[in-house]
Amino acid sequence: MSADFIAVFAVIVVAMVFDYTNGFHDAANAIATSVSTRALTPRVALLMAAAGNFIGAHFGKNVANTVSSIIEVPQSQAGLGAVFAAVVGAIAWNLITWYFGLPSSSSHALIGGLVGAALIAGYTVAWDAVVSKVVIPMVASPLVGLVAGFLFMLAIMWIFRKGRPAKLNRGFRLAQTFSAAAMSIGHGLQDAAKTIGVIVLALNVGGYQDSITYIPPWTYWTSATVLALGTYAGGWRIIRTLGRKIIHLGPPEGFAAETVAAVLLFVFGIKLHAPISTTHTITSAIMGVGATKKFSAVRWGVAGNIVTAWILTFPGAGLIAAAAYLLTHQLFI
């Protein structure tokens, strides 16, 4: 068994660990609103989210290609050390924010880790791609989610203004089954694809394939399965934050937030090739929907803590990845 094989295998294993933590860390994104409105029981919601993640992973080629091109690493064991450290940084940040119940972005943790490890190792960062495919969408997607959530909820309120609340709630609970499923597929499209991108990068840097865009079929199944298992494990701390602490959601609000978030995940992922944060998207949609009740109905203090986590994620994961590189790079020489 060659040293190159062992190094590539180590990166793939740690990428799977990240994939799993991504699943339980971001499970809340797909199911918090459905659980909080009692449209779905927690276990049924988690099972549906896991299935949706598995399906969505197979549509994430564009996002995977973007992630694999964020940094330029030469084919060498030292290069694999940088990729390994990047993923370690993302995992560490996921666990820190999970512990404190903050719905930070696993996506930006991974990209922050890639950038931090590349910089400390002296490799090239594709800053044009980082700005156009990561930073701009990172800012735009929550703003669009906030406005779209607000407007879509206003439209629902106007269309159903004469409806009976009890009957409407039953109808929207049923509708949430479909909006939550769409949200789960969008999450798989975005987040499983990011792990696939790391695996492709590792295969390229390890010399097992020359292309940085070719995705071996087995990577879809592996990443999708591990993400689904992680999702089913749950992420109850973050579910409570998203589903209850930002604002009390009813079935119409839950449907509106999930629908807006799902549409944005598909548009940014398939059309714009941008690895946006599922967390940012659903949280901002929830805030926009909640603001239609009255501005003060949203618990902006909790929202402020979440935004702080957003801001800290990219540099925080990058710094941890840099430290991980300094500690582990000797193992890859």
Q: Mind spelling out the 3-state secondary structure of 104-128?
A: CCHHHHHHHHHHHHHHHHCCEECHH
Alpha carbon separation from 176 to 37, 309, 311 (Å, rounded): 9, 28, 30
| pLDDT tens readout for residues 138-196 | 888 888 999 999 999 999 999 998 888 888 888 998 898 899 889 889 988 998 899 99
| pLDDT tens readout for residues 10-61 | 999 999 999 988 887 666 666 777 777 777 777 787 788 888 888 998 899 9
CA distance 18 to 106: 9
pTM of the model as a whole? 0.87
CA distance 248 to 175: 18
Q: Given the DSSP bridges, would you call strands 71-72 and 124-125 parallel, antiparallel or unpaired?
A: antiparallel
| pLDDT tens readout for residues 231-278 | 777 655 555 554 455 456 788 988 999 999 999 999 999 999 998 888
pLDDT given for residue 324 in this prediction: 95
Would you place residue 99 in the very low, low, confident or very high pLDDT band (cuts 50, 70, 90)?
A: confident
CA distance 132 to 137: 7
Under DSSP, the state recorded for 292 is T
